[in-house]
């Protein structure tokens, strides 16, 4: 067997794996969404694709180092000028260096086409967030079902009962949503939908609102007002009417971020205004 061929083919195959995983990680949902909805592609999770990407990178790096070792003479020839003297800054090296610097600086200052590439990736992630749904707060799947229920104003005993009626097992209320989901082969998001069934039903018929978290959870700005109200059992008609009374233009299909941009205020201000509306409704 030829070591040169093995190294060259290993570099080629590891590059192919790197290329594939790079494309997948380019379009994969944000971590909070992927973990919440248990996102998978070809049965592999976001973390598993990331692990393959990292290890393939190390294999590619190792094969490139060995490739350089076995092809040192040709590489040295690339660094020689017309006088056959070794010089690092040849015309070819300078061209490669300039291209690399343009990429780094262009990405840093966020100018097209480099910013466009990033924006397209963000677009994929925002679409995924709308499709799969956002968690009510960051890393909600790591909360125990007891803590989660308390934060979301859900009756713990009723929630556990709903899970058992649906055929899912739960050992104790200190288990995290992620652990329960893994044991029952479902996503943390599905657990939330099941245990919140009673509160959703109550809100649907009584019109009562729930207490929002103190600070807006990650990804709140990307939620449409309709999705936001659905997530927190809020009456969207009351919310839009109350926002209008505060001279804030809003529509059900507008994201919180878009509402902020339209009214020239921050998404956080929109969130605080909705929180104020819900607190007033609770008092009444």
Range of the domain at 66: 3-132
Same domain, 127 and 170: no
Final residue before a domain boundary, out of 178, 206, 234: 206
Q: How many CB atoms lie within 10 A of CB 81?
A: 11
Final residue before a domain boundary, out of 206, 230, 250: 206
Same domain, 171 and 249: no
* 29 DSSP 8-state letter: P
Same domain, 40 and 119: yes
Same domain, 11 and 47: yes
**Element of type H or E holding 191:** helix 188-195
Name the least confident of 105-114, 149-158, 190-199: 190-199
Same domain, 32 and 61: yes
- Quote the number of domains for the chain: 3
pLDDT recorded at residue 19 = 93
Q: Model confidence at 84, in pLDDT bands (50, 70, 90)?
A: low
Q: Each residue of 5-27: b (16+ CB within 10 Å) or e?
A: eebbebbeebbebbeebeebeee
pLDDT recorded at residue 205 = 31
pLDDT tens digit string along 158-200?
A: 888 888 877 888 888 889 998 998 888 888 888 888 887 654 4
Backbone angles phi, psi at 224, to 5 degrees: -70, 160
Same domain, 183 and 218: no
pLDDT recorded at residue 83 = 60
Same domain, 37 and 107: yes
Same domain, 195 and 90: no
Same domain, 214 and 100: no
Under 8 Å CB-to-CB from 2, ≥6 apart: which residues?
Answer: none
Give me the half-sphere count of Cα atoms (radius 13 Å) on the Cβ side of residue 154.
29
pTM for the whole structure? 0.62
HEC states along 79-134? Answer: CECCCCCECCCCHHHHHHHHHHHHHHHHHHCCCCCHHHHHHHHHHHHHHHHHHHCC
Same domain, 7 and 93: yes
Same domain, 190 and 253: no
Same domain, 190 and 244: no
For helices 177-184 and 188-195, what crossing angle results, to 10°? Answer: 100
Final residue before a domain boundary, out of 177, 206, 235: 206
């Amino acid at each position: 067997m030829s070591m040169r061929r093995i190294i060259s083919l290993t570099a080629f195959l590891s590059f192919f794996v790197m290329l594939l995983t790079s494309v997948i990680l380019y379009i994969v949902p944000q971590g909070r969404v992927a973990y919440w909805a248990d996102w998978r592609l070809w049965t592999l999770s976001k973390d598993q694709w990331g692990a393959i990407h990292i290890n393939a990178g190390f294999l590619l790096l190792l094969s490139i180092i060995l490739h350089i070792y076995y092809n040192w003479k040709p590489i040295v020839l690339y660094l020689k000028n017309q006088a056959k003297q070794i010089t690092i800054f040849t015309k070819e090296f300078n061209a490669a260096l300039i291209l690399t610097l343009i990429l780094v600086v262009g990405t840093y200052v966020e100018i097209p086409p480099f910013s466009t590439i990033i924006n397209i990736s963000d677009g994929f992630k925002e679409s995924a967030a709308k499709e799969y749904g956002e968690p009510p707060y960051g890393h909600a799947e790591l909360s125990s079902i007891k803590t989660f229920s308390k934060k979301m104003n859900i009756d713990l005993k009723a929630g556990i009962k709903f899970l058992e009626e649906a055929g899912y097992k739960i050992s104790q209320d200190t288990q995290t949503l992620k652990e329960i989901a893994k044991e029952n082969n479902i996503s943390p998001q599905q657990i939330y939908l099941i245990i919140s069934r009673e509160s959703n039903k109550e809100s649907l018929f009584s019109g009562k609102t729930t207490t929002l978290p103190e600070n807006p959870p990650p990804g709140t700005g990307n939620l449409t007002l309709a999705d936001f109200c659905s997530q927190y059992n809020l009456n969207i008609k009351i919310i839009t009417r109350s926002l209008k009374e505060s001279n804030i233009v809003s529509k059900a299909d507008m994201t919180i971020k878009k509402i902020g941009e339209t009214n020239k205020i921050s998404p956080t201000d929109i969130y605080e205004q909705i929180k104020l509306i819900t607190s007033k409704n609770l008092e009444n």
